[in-house]
Amino acid sequence: MWFRPIIIWLIGLSELPVKARIYRKKYCDHQACQHRSMAIVESNCFRSWTIYQAVVGSKQVEMARAGVVLKKLPAYGLVKSAACAAAVAVMTSSVSACITPSEQRADQIRFLELQLKIAALKCRFENPRFAGLYNRFVKAHRPSIKASRWPVEAFLARQTRMDMDTYVTKTANQISLASLDVRGFCENSAAVAKLAATSKDPLGVMDLLSVPYRARQSVCLGEGQQSDLAEAAPSTSASIRP
């Protein structure tokens, strides 16, 4: 029975291509899910990486077998696979560490709407007409306000652990606290609300806000600078009655 270990060893080697295919399918499916926006990923990159995973990463392959198979793999293949894994990691981190132009525009619209809402509540005694100005702004830009929800939720899901309600509460608190140090907050905000209600683009008044907007992240590269906010989503905005 001296040949029995050899037979077992040969059977184990024959299973490697099958395991490699399984690893390749799982890896490629995972990457296709995680990196749908990636342009083209070289198939050889995945092939070398999945073989390396099947040989080294599988707990079912003994180190002795792994050593034999690794000798058959060219050195540049392993280097290439490692470079591929590093490139995928860099692309993933770069996407998650920035805000897209559409997300930033949506965040700015939410910031503007929240600041005018806070001003309408805070300044209702000083300027009883402020609630009407805010309602006019919401009515004029309701589609943009509604559509801004989805990009903001996408950013929150990728960058933070906040949900939409927490985001709105936190942003509103920041604006409210910052407004305490702004002279003429009510007067200036009323002028901004009136101008924003008659402007075609609501973001044209961003530079006039009493509490300035600050970008949450650097803007991602490779995406168009004009966002599409035509699709409607449930809105957290609510009109304030005077």
- 52 and 116 both lie in a single domain: no
164-196: pLDDT as tens digits = 999 999 999 999 999 999 999 999 999 999 999
Instruction: Answer yes or no: are the C-beta atoms of 168 and 118 closer than 8 Å.
Output: no
- 113 and 130 both lie in a single domain: yes
> In which residue are the tokens 């309701």 written?
142
User: Considering only CA atoms, which of 238, 131, 145 is closest in space to residue 190?
Assistant: 131
- 20 and 89 both lie in a single domain: yes
DSSP 8-state assignment for residue 218: P
Per-chain mean pLDDT for the chain: 70
Percent of the chain with pLDDT over 70: 52
Please state which of the ranges 108-117, 162-171, 223-232 shows the lowest mean pLDDT. Answer: 223-232
Number of domains the chain is built from: 2
Asked whether residue 51 carries a pLDDT value surpassing 60, the answer given is: no
229 versus 181: the higher-pLDDT residue is 181
205 versus 225: the higher-pLDDT residue is 205
Instruction: With respect to residue 228, please indicate whether it lies within any of the assigned structural domains.
Output: no
- 68 and 131 both lie in a single domain: no
Instruction: Answer yes or no: are the C-beta atoms of 229 and 148 closer than 8 Å.
Output: yes
CA distance 143 to 139: 9
Asked whether residue 242 carries a pLDDT value surpassing 70, the answer given is: no
- 107 and 192 both lie in a single domain: yes
Instruction: With respect to residue 33, please indicate whether it lies within any of the assigned structural domains.
Output: yes
Q: How many Cα atoms sit within 13 Å of 163 on the Cβ side?
A: 2
Domain end point (choices 96, 131, 163): 96
Q: Which domain holds residue 85?
A: 4-96
Determine the pLDDT at residue 215: 85
Q: What are phi and psi of 99, to 5 degrees?
A: -115, 135
- 109 and 204 both lie in a single domain: yes
Instruction: With respect to residue 222, please indicate whether it lies within any of the assigned structural domains.
Output: no
- 112 and 157 both lie in a single domain: yes
- 145 and 200 both lie in a single domain: yes
Instruction: With respect to residue 221, please indicate whether it lies within any of the assigned structural domains.
Output: no
Instruction: With respect to residue 218, please indicate whether it lies within any of the assigned structural domains.
Output: no
Instruction: With respect to residue 69, please indicate whether it lies within any of the assigned structural domains.
Output: yes
- 25 and 10 both lie in a single domain: yes
CA 37 to chain centre: 12
Any residues with CB less than 8 A from the CB of 139 and at least 6 apart, and which?
Answer: 197, 239
3-state DSSP of 156-214: HHHHCCCCHHHHHHHHHHHHHHHHCCCCCHHHHHHHHHHHHHHCCCHHHHHHHCCCCCC
141-162: pLDDT as tens digits = 999 999 999 999 999 999 888 8
Determine the pLDDT at residue 178: 95
Determine the pLDDT at residue 89: 41
Instruction: With respect to residue 240, please indicate whether it lies within any of the assigned structural domains.
Output: no
Domain end point (choices 78, 96, 114): 96
- 195 and 109 both lie in a single domain: yes
Would the pTM count as exceeding 0.75? Answer: no
Q: What are phi and psi of 219, to 5 degrees?
A: -75, 135
Radius of gyration of the chain (CA): 28
